Amino acid sequence: MTTTFPIEEKINTLLRQMTLNEKIGQMNQLSGTNEYNEEMIRKGAVGSFLNVSDVDDAKRYQKLAVEETRLGIPLVMARDVIHGFKTLFPIPLAQSCSWNEGLIEEGCHIAAKEAKAHGYHWTFAPMIDISRDPRWGRIAESLGEDPLLCGRLGAAMVRGFQGDDPAADDRLAACAKHLVGYGAAEGGRDYNTTIIPERSMRDTYLPPFKASVDAGALTMMSAFNEINDIPASANHFTLKQILRDEWKYDGMVVSDWGSVTEMISHGFAQDEKESAKEAINAGIDMEMVTGSYVKHAKELLAEGAISMETIDNAVRNVLRLKFRLNLFENPYFTGDTEEVTLCQSHLDAARKAARESMVLLKNNYMLPLKAENTVALIGPLTHAKEDQVGCWSMDLVSESSVTVKEAFESSAFSTTFAAGLDSPRSTETKGFAKAIANAHNADIAVMIVGEDAILSGESHSRAFIDLPGKQTQLIEAVAATGTKVVLVVMAGRPLTLGSVLDKVDAILYAWHPGTMAGPAVLDLLSGIESPSGRLTVSFPHTVGQIPVYYSRKNTGRPPREEDRGIPAGTPLNPEGFASYYLDVDFRAQFPFGFGLTYSTVTYSTPSLSTNSISTTGSLTAFCEITNTGDTPIHEVVQLYVRDLVGTVTRPIKELKDFKRVALAPGETATVKFTLTADQLAFHNRDMQRVVESGEFHLWIAPHSEAGDPVSFTVKT
């Protein structure tokens, strides 16, 4: 095989030489190492592996494929490199709170470098499922609730993994997943049913996938869930009409683990053979682990249930990936694992990412800590090397994790330590006494609480999303000493902190920050840097309020400012008759986009270059922001728009752009956004993407509930 021919020619030449069995083999992906898998390689009955975790095994398997099969087609080796490989970065939801595309891109580049050195070519990331239900464990893997942000950050991840050349020694093929709607699972129960009207699909759930396609993602993964009664892995509307016909995608689509044969449980296919038929005909090019293609495709072809053209197209997509990764020329590449793994520059990048991912939710002038403060470190996540890294940490080297305890103990702070509880879910309170005594004797109690890593991620949904175990009681007991409490929450989802919110003086939401959790928390609490993270999901007051997201509809009975629940003594039948709960504020506890810094910032009323644009025009919006405090900060400036009247109802706000702006103390910056009419487009009653004329409101604000709007009109 020479490199001088275009890839499509090479694919066709190879395809002509392949037997039917060899073709079907390319459509099969297996997991791990065992004798059966080796036998399958020799027979040419497998095109890819995931989870071959030993570099020598990976090389051996590749050698079998390249040297002991008739055509020598190399394997493509995959792994879930989701938020780092050995150097673990914050969970994706945390990373999204940095709103920093460059930082996220660099983190994925580092992950790719480490994974490629270990023999992998392909990662199953980014996960770009719009997630609006914090009960869902996989919200941890997501980039939050907003389509624009999720699309931009997902595209940054694709660029980070793939670079300009995904075949390079430090890059991997990316996989945008899970196509599509997985995050809309009923009740936040993983794998559950989704009902998504076509307009929501096109305006909310699909845009991040389109952004990944535009960023060049080489592969996509189909989801487990059914969408409007058709399993996502058999869905012609999403996989064929949208992906192939409308977007002209020529990458490869892999099923999720078992999502082909799960069509039997869905009640959509009566057996494996039928599920294989449905998936192949829907355009799932490669089946992950369940082997139904290998078992049944030949027979299905003979019966005319699938066509040779469909098989050839699938194999073309698989081979295209392998050519794009240059595997035919360079099948054995592995790097110097010692040199790249957990090296200082990677640890520094992970520390920076962790710092920028954390969100300061409350600060009663407690932070930053003063150098002379004596600190009682308390809580089950103060020294938890495995839990601090979060949900996707299969390649973790636990000793590499630096905990908050270790970071503070090697700092100038005078500290004591008492876990209080052995683990976040523990209900055994015998450790409380030491924690309380330490708090008594300290100026400040820094409590590191939250969820263990296993409480989020795949199949780890929760019906109650408060602090598990006896952590609330521990916080109450420590706060009762009178010592001020700074809470650091490590979690895989927004938690409902309830009464705890008022008992503590500061809250830093750290999510699961990864390998460098400790130093990053220390950097922020000690004031080396100001927090700059902003929420990318709305925090509910209570589970009963879910779903709560900023981009909601107004309804015919919108709640008013004063509709915040019924205070005691309110007479029966109060004013109201609006869309809210009697017993809780209709707003989020902490809104999308929210996050404090160690300073204060003022925003001027936005000014517009024009108040009227055509449906193909654009305007520039300006805002002056001033750092009125004495700390250097990064401000995340957010541009929101509301389309006041549409031919279909429109959300009360939509994020259209954002910028991270560095501001020295006292500095004023003019932030400028260009807004094109095209950014206002949505799908109308006829499901056409249109820009409609009418009046719009525009905000430039520090979060989704702040600021006053200015108006502009779009004219035809």
Q: Which is nearer to ligand BGC, 150 or 507 (CB)?
A: 150
Q: Which residues bind ligand BGC (CB under 6 A)?
A: 50, 80, 124, 177, 256-257, 458
3-state secondary structure of 582: coil
DSSP state of 644: S
Q: Which is nearer to ligand BGC, 165 or 186 (CB)?
A: 186
Examine the residue annotation and report whether 630 is marked as an active-site residue of this protein: no
Residue 491's nearest CA partner among 546, 537, 450, 433 is 450
Shortest spacing between CB 674 and ligand BGC, in angstroms: 36
Between CA 382 and CA 27 the distance in angstroms is: 46
Q: For the residues of 124-153, what is the DSSP string, one character each?
A: ---B------TTSGGGGGS--S-HHHHHHH
Shortest spacing between CB 261 and ligand BGC, in angstroms: 13
CB-based burial of residue 681 (10 Å sphere; 0-12 exposed, 13-18 middle, 19+ buried)?
middle
Q: Which is nearer to ligand BGC, 469 or 492 (CB)?
A: 492
CB-based burial of residue 35 (10 Å sphere; 0-12 exposed, 13-18 middle, 19+ buried)?
exposed
Q: Which is nearer to ligand BGC, 312 or 458 (CB)?
A: 458
For residues 172 and 158, the answer to whether their CB atoms sit within 8 Å is no
Q: For the residues of 486-545, what is the DSSP string, one character each?
A: EEEEE-SS----TTHHHH-SEEEE--S--TTHHHHHHHHHTTSS------SSPBPSSGGG
Shortest spacing between CB 286 and ligand BGC, in angstroms: 12
Between CA 70 and CA 73 the distance in angstroms is: 8
Shortest spacing between CB 258 and ligand BGC, in angstroms: 8
Q: Which is nearer to ligand BGC, 170 or 458 (CB)?
A: 458
Shortest spacing between CB 523 and ligand BGC, in angstroms: 31
Which H or E run includes 609?
none
Residue nearest to ligand BGC (CB): 124
Q: Which is nearer to ligand BGC, 180 or 447 (CB)?
A: 180
Judged by phi (left if over 0) then psi (alpha if -120 to 50, else beta), residue 518 lies in alpha
Shortest spacing between CB 81 and ligand BGC, in angstroms: 10
3-state secondary structure of 590: strand
Q: Which is nearer to ligand BGC, 50 or 65 (CB)?
A: 50
Token pair, residue 356, equals 């920028």
Residue 277's nearest CA partner among 246, 231, 324 is 231
Q: For the residues of 2-50, what is the DSSP string, one character each?
A: -SSS-HHHHHHHHHHH--HHHHHHHTEEEES--HHHHHHHHTT--SEEE
HSE-CB for 339 with a 13 A CA cutoff: 7
3-state secondary structure of 68: helix
Residue 470's nearest CA partner among 486, 453, 447 is 447
Shortest spacing between CB 49 and ligand BGC, in angstroms: 11
Q: Which is nearer to ligand BGC, 266 or 541 (CB)?
A: 266
Shortest spacing between CB 52 and ligand BGC, in angstroms: 12
In which residue are the tokens 């001027």 written?
604
Catalytic residue among 256, 285, 452, 505: 256
DSSP state of 204: I
Shortest spacing between CB 459 and ligand BGC, in angstroms: 8
Sign of CA dihedral 198, 201, 203, 209: negative
HEC secondary structure over 225-258: CEECCEEHHHCHHHHHHHHHHHCCCCCEEECCCC
Q: Which is nearer to ligand BGC, 79 or 405 (CB)?
A: 79
3-state secondary structure of 481: coil
Between CA 54 and CA 66 the distance in angstroms is: 18
CB atoms within 10 A of CB 373: 19
Shortest spacing between CB 505 and ligand BGC, in angstroms: 39
Q: Which is nearer to ligand BGC, 177 or 460 (CB)?
A: 177
Question: Would you please indicate which residues are annotated as catalytic (active-site) residues?
Answer: 256
